[in-house]
Amino acid sequence: MNRLVSNSIFMMIRASSSSSSMTFSISSSINGGSRILASGGVSSPETHPLSVLMTVFRRNMTSSPSSSLKERENKEIETLKERENKEIEKIKEKDDDSVVSSYWSIPRNEITKPDGTKWAWNCFMPWETYEADLSIDLTKHHVPKTFADKFACRTVKLLRIPTDIFFKRRYGCRAMMLETVAAVPGMVGGMLLHLRSVRRFEQSGGWIKALLEEAENERMHLMTMVELVQPRWYERLLVLVVQGIFFNCYFVLYLASPKLAHRVVGYLEEEAIHSYTEYLKDIESGAIENVRAPAIAIDYWRLPKDATLKDVITVIRADEAHHRDVNHFASDVHFQGRQLKEAPAPIGYR
């Protein structure tokens, strides 16, 4: 660009020196106006064509394109920052309880409890809550008859020995460990039945949903127990090890023999009922303080607002009794030589 301006100046000088009668018409944008200059008369140094061209040349030489480009970029960045700060200020001015838009940019309707208060949980909704069936038989026991039944029962009894040694009568920590294991079978069984269904293009008879409901219910037991018992670091480490081993073992067992896998879970649930019964005895005797029930438990089981730990353990024990019956029933279906899809699944017990 500078070379082009220099050539223009050189040509103008030659034109000016060759003929004094030649007329020049020069347009410049100095001081925001356009001036038409003509030679052949007396002109001031400020209006002489050569002076104007020299002024333009000097301005072009002093302002480099790179510096002007950087200035424009800096101005744009400053403008964007100002806009961003304004948006942040607008968001801060809004109420903290404002609803965040969903993935589809549609705000979620406000969810409330039956009494009109705001729903506090995202992990479960009001229509997923229920009242536990406390009339269920807690003393029911499946008497082992076949070799598989005896193997399952004795395996569970052996697994209880290290648990008793480690936790003794610390039933809060014991329940937390138990629920981390109890949440695995339903998920494994539901996952494998799901894969079987989509692989063979067949219905599951509702058993996929039933087993996944069981896994979710056991997980909610764990979320409740964590509110009551703060696990130590070595207990958290133990959870990682036990859950990792149990998941892989149960996965292989379910692939090899679903009837044996469900029978094992049935006996595990019987041991869970026994553990929660002992937990209640310690609460009633005063060995364990009967503290207020966590808010998540009150909403999940629809307990009264003044519910206590005893009420929570009672409903959890009832859930375990239901899981006991479901898994023993599933094992019986397999022992009869039938598939689970041939027997209606116990869905919607909540």
Topology at the third CATH level for domain 147-342? Ferritin (1.20.1260)
Report pLDDT for 93: 62
| Distances 56 to 3, 4, 69, 71, 276 between C-alpha atoms, Å | 13, 12, 19, 21, 93
Beta strands in the chain (DSSP E): none
Angle at 242 between CA 226 and CA 287, to 5 degrees: 45
What is the per-residue pLDDT for 27?
39
Structure confidence at residue 119 (pLDDT): 86
Q: What pLDDT does 341 receive?
A: 86
How many whole angstroms separate alpha carbon 212 and alpha carbon 184? Answer: 10
Distance CA 345, CA 331 (A): 12
Amino acid found at 254: Y
Q: Give pLDDT < 70 ranges for the chain.
A: 1-70, 88, 90-108, 347-350
Predicted local confidence at residue 121, as pLDDT: 84
112: left (phi over 0), alpha (psi -120 to 50) or beta: beta
Residue type, 130: Y
pLDDT tens per residue, range 21-79 = 433 333 333 334 444 333 444 444 444 555 545 555 555 555 555 566 667 777 777 77
Domain ranges of the chain: 2-62, 147-342
